[in-house]
Amino acid sequence: MKKILFLIPNLMHGGAEKVLVNLVNNLNPSKYEITLFSIFDQGVNKEFLNQNINYQYKFKKVFRGNSHFFKLFSPEFLYKWLIKEEYDIAISFLEGPAARIISGCQNPATKKIAWIHTEIQDQSTAKVGFRTLKDAKKYYEKFDRIVGVSQQVVEGIQKFITTKIPTHVLYNVNDTETIIEKGKESVGAIFSPEIPTLISVGKIVKIKGFDRLLEAHKRLKEQGGVHQIVLVGIGAEEAALTKKAKEWGLSDSFKLVGFYKNPYKLLAKSDLYICSSLREGFSTAVTEALILGIPVISTEVSGAKELLGENNEFGIVTENSTEGLYQAMKLLLTHPDQLTHFKQQAEIRGNEFSTEKTVLAVENLLDSLRHE
């Protein structure tokens, strides 16, 4: 049995955090002894960890200026300070501080993996968590492998960080059986069943582009389009978005319903999923919508075409703009036959992201490292 360490800043309500819990819960417990180390002991996803996972943390709560604090010390010092045991494989499960810390492991017997979840579009995103771009390149090149959650993520790594380290594309692990089962739960009176329901799930932050979704919704409503949008999540832009919807008289049709431990029961009852993001790594929520057989519109972000097809075979990838969202939403809302078609295609595509397939790909990588 090999000892595996996963390091992540926290287990809050983000996609990567949920994916990590899904992954460690489904890795073969007879092959791996798993430690999940969260720098900060915060997050709703912690309660979903299986009992066999060794959970550790350093700080009880996130503190102001923590990203600057970690840059004050060398990766070598940080790793020695935080990590007290020896591991066969040490994995940073997010770019930034976690990657910087794991890169500081100096035990030559420990294999190191950097797992990157966001699209590296420029030098600024490449150096997140590091002092400089040169610093980032130096320490990423101390890893044995770098994983990207989509082909575009890997291409960004190779363009802006390094081509010296072997890279792999590994899709996010979703607990498909749980998603389908939780999708069957009742939702109460949130939806008006006779009105088409569009849904989006995620942190309500600028990068998710929900302001553009609201604007596209406004344009469609002004043209007589009958539909409602349900937005599931919490975040820094929640108040501003609520205020704007109220100003435009759209509070009844653009509904911010907050955080749900089980968003799948809402997702499963919806007619269409919208990813309005400016940037993604590989959208967990889009994958979950496909697993539930919900048609998807996504802006052209990293992973979108890998999920929905180069030529919109399994959903619609639209221009990354308000206009793109508006046109795609208008198309499916005014052509029910197209919506039915993409529902069928979503069901087909969703089968490709089974827990078994995605976990097996991760285990194959871990096992290949063990035998080097």
Q: Tell me whether domains 2-170 and 177-353 share a fold.
A: yes
DSSP 173-210: P--HHHHHHHTTS--TTSS-TTS-EEEEES--SGGG-H
pLDDT in tens, 271-309: 999 999 999 988 999 999 999 999 999 999 999 999 999
Q: What is the DSSP letter of 171?
A: P
CATH code 3.10.310.40 for 177-353:
no
In this prediction the pTM is: 0.83
* Residue 251 vs residues 14, 106, 331: alpha-carbon distances, Å: 25, 55, 24
pLDDT in tens, 56-87: 999 999 999 998 999 999 999 999 999 999 99
* Residue 339 vs residues 273, 304, 315: alpha-carbon distances, Å: 11, 18, 9
CATH of domain 2-170: 3.40.50.2000
Average pLDDT for 330-346: 96
Would you say 198 and 225 are in contact if contact means Cβ atoms under 8 Å apart? no
Q: Which residues contact 345 (CB under 8 A, 6 or more apart)?
A: 295, 313, 314, 315
pLDDT in tens, 132-159: 999 999 999 999 999 999 999 999 999 9
Residue boundaries of the structural domains of the chain: 2-170, 177-353
Q: What is the DSSP letter of 112?
A: E
